[in-house]
Every structure is written in structure tokens, then in C-alpha cells.
Amino acid sequence: MKHFPASAMKHLAAAAALLLAGLAPAAAAATATAAGSSSAAAAPKPWNVTDHVALKDFIIQAHRGAGDLAEEGTLESFQLGWSLGAIPEADVRATQDGVIVSFHDNNFKRIIKDADEALKKSSVEKSTWAFLQTLDVGLYKGPQFAGRRVARMSGIFDYMRTRPELRIYLDIKKVDFARLAALVKAAGVEERVIVASSKPEFLIEWKQHAPASGTLLWCSKADDEITRMLDDLVATGNIRHITSVQLHVHPNRNAKNYNAAEDGGRDWKKIPCTTDPGEPFSRPRDFIQSLGARLRSLGLLYQAFAYSKDATFYAPLMDLGVASFATDRPDIAAAEVKKYYAARGKK
């Protein structure tokens, strides 16, 4: 065996140390790169409704029956909403003699064309069912809608009875829950109604009368108020009475490209809105997305009321995790949702 002098061995050791020192950063960099690649590969894919809900099961709520496409709250408007594949919404209140009907406003001023001053100030609650049937609630929308009448909810439920595919939203205005629940159950449609309100206590009470029905908590308040409301519902356990949450979303009126003509809201400037000109919606996109994640973790359907006449309003909201829409243009919403699914190769 060949022996090296001690001085040579010292030089070899020094050279080896230098070599190892030079290789260390490269090895560390390679390890970091590999870890980064692994982390990137493991990053979860953003949640998207097309991966979880079939197109045929995507829910579109037609506001007040068929939104802007017809008069409000009549059998004909509900039929139009259903024909578009949507679930129509009825605003429920009771007449002076206790008949539960669909009528949104708390007076007749907007809906009854050419009403005198006394009639404008009157309301469903001050009217009998017989008198209500004399009022034309379609003419205000146009002559093609003339002659249409307020819908009696027992009649709507009877219409649904033999059509098991039909569902309806019931937005609570002023009604006795026990009487409404009795009508729903008598028609056998308990599982096909979704009761809606901005007041959690209404939905909690409703569930005591009709536990098999769905509920929708609609939210028009500021983001922090919505967060506190959900915190309270979770803390008290009352979140179990909610099956879906609807977030009201407008175009951002403080955005650089805001166009009031595209805003579908009615006198909505009282509603909170972000001041960030870079945000397209009235609420920050981070909030819209994080709310969706929270609702999904609670097992709740996430619906957005898209207050816009712009067809391009829908896809960005779906990108943020929205899984359902309420709208005044169910025809546009349906077309845009179908287009969104097709672009992702989904049905």
C-alpha cells in the first residue's frame, strides 16, 4: 500500500473541505427546489361548483317569480320561472281575512296602475281576498300582462302537488308560520319549499313547523355584520336550522368602470359597498371567496344574488366559489351558467 507524506495528506484534507463547502449550497438549493415543487404539486385545486354539482342540479332562483321578465308573484310568473329551469320566489303575506298570498310590497302604490291615492296607501293586510281578486297586478308591467291576479298560495301549492319536479322559495313578509306550514303539508310539498328571510329567528321558528323544508338566510348587510351573525348562529347551534345562505352582490359603485345602468339594484346606495376602485363587486373578492369556504365547511349552499344586468357578472362569482344564483334575469343566468360549465368540459 502506497503511503503519502503527512504534508500531502493535509493538502488533500483541505481540498476536500473546500469541495464539500462548495457543494453544500447547491445541495441545499436542490432540496429547497424539490420541496417547493412538492408543495406546488400538493396545493389544493380551488373549489369550483362544476366539480361538485351537475349542471342539471345547479339552482337559479327567479326573483319574485320570473324577475324582470314578467309581473311579480302571479301563477303565470311562477310558470315562466319554472319553464326556464329556475325556482321562482314568492313573497308571502296574509289578507285581512287570513288568506296567504304572494305579494311583495307593503302597499299598492307601485303595482296597481292608475290607483287613486287611497288605494296606493292600502295594502294586502287591509284587503279581503275577494277585493284583492279585483286588482290587476300585471298591467303595470305592460299591456301584454294585463288581467293577471294576485296568487293565492294554496292554489300554487296545489299546482305543485302533481308536478314533483317543481320547487318554490317563500320569502317571509308577514304571515303566520303555523298556517303557512299547514298549507304546505296539506299539499305534500314540504320538502320542495325553501323559506327565505334575512332574519335568522324566522328560519329557526319555521323549522319547528316544517323540519323537512329548506331555508335560506339572505344577507344584504355589511361583511362584518354577516360574519358576526354567522358566528352567533354557529356558537348557539342554530346554524342547524339554515340550509343555504344568499349573499347580495352588486357592481362596485366606486369602481373606475362602474356603470349604473348595469346595476340591477333598486335604490341600493344605502347598502354598504367597498371603496376600493380595483374591486369589480360591491364586496371584496377575498370576502366573497372566504365566505364560500366557510359555508361549505358548514354544509350550506352558497348562493349569490347577482344584482346586475351584465351577463359577464356571473362567471367571476363562480370562480370565487359561488354555487347558486338568485337573479332578476333567470334567462341570462341560465345561459351564462351553461356556458361556464361547457367551457370546463362539464355537464
What per-residue confidence (pLDDT) applies to 72? 97
Q: Do the domain assignments include residue 89?
A: yes
State the Cα–Cα distance between residues 147 and 4, nearest whole angstrom: 113
Residues 210 and 291 in one domain: yes
For strands 100-102 and 151-152, give the pairing: antiparallel
DSSP H helical ranges for the chain: 6-42, 75-83, 117-121, 129-132, 153-161, 177-186, 200-209, 223-236, 285-297, 314-319, 330-343
pTM (two decimals): 0.87
Note whether 306 and 336 are same-domain residues: yes
Is there a domain that residue 316 lies in? yes
Question: In this structure, are 28 and 168 located in the same domain?
Answer: no
| Residues whose CB is less than 8 angstroms from the CB of residue 25 and which lie 6 or more positions away in sequence, other chains included | none
The H-or-E segment that residue 169 falls in is strand 168-174
CA–CA separation, 305 vs 328, rounded Å?
9
Averages of pLDDT over runs of 10 residues in the chain (347 residues) are 42 40 45 50 86 98 98 98 98 98 97 96 98 98 97 98 97 98 98 98 98 98 97 98 98 91 82 93 98 98 97 98 98 98 96
Residue 16: what pLDDT?
A: 40
Q: Which of 264, 253, 261, 260 is nearest to 69 (CA)?
A: 264
Q: Which helix (H) or strand (E) holds 90?
A: strand 87-94
Q: Is residue 138, in this structure, part of any structural domain at all?
A: no
pLDDT at 271: 83
81 part of a folded domain: yes
Same structural domain for residues 262 and 299? yes
Residue 199 covered by a domain: yes
Domain assignment present for 180: yes
* Claim to verify: residue 307 and residue 168 sit in the same structural domain: yes
Q: Mapping DSSP to helix (H, G, I), strand (E, B) and coil, where does residue 30 land? A: helix
> By CB neighbour count within 10 A (0-12 exposed, 13-18 middle, 19+ buried), where does 318 fall?
buried
For 212, residues 6+ apart whose C-beta sits below 8 A from its C-beta are 190, 191
> DSSP 3-state assignment of 111?
coil
State the pLDDT at residue 206: 98
* Closest to 86 (Cα-Cα) out of 105, 67, 73: 67
- CATH code of the domain in which 83 resides: 3.20.20.190
Distance of CA 249 to the CA centre of its chain: 9
Q: Is 58 found in the same domain as 25?
A: no
Helix, strand and coil in the chain, % to nearest 5: 50, 15, 35
Q: Are residues 82 and 229 in the same domain?
A: yes
Quick one: 213 exposed, middle or buried, by C-beta within 10 A (0-12, 13-18, 19+)?
buried
pLDDT score, position 24: 44
Question: How many domains does the chain contain in total?
Answer: 2
Residues 2 and 77 in one domain: no
pLDDT of residue 264: 87
Q: Decide if 40 is inside a domain.
A: no
Are 11 and 86 in a shared domain? no
Same domain, 328 and 259: yes
Predicted pLDDT of residue 44:
84
The answer for residues whose C-beta is within 8 angstroms of residue 270's C-beta and 6 or more apart is: none
> What is the DSSP code string of 268-301?
GGGS-----TT-SBSS-HHHHHHHHHHHHHTT-E
Among candidates 291, 323, 328, 288, which has minimal Cα distance to 307?
Answer: 328
Residue 135 lies in a domain: no
Max CA pair span of the chain: 120
| Residue 180 belongs to domain spanning | 49-93+161-343
> According to the model, what pLDDT value does residue 42 have?
67
Is there a contact between 23 and 319 (Cβ–Cβ < 8 Å)?
no
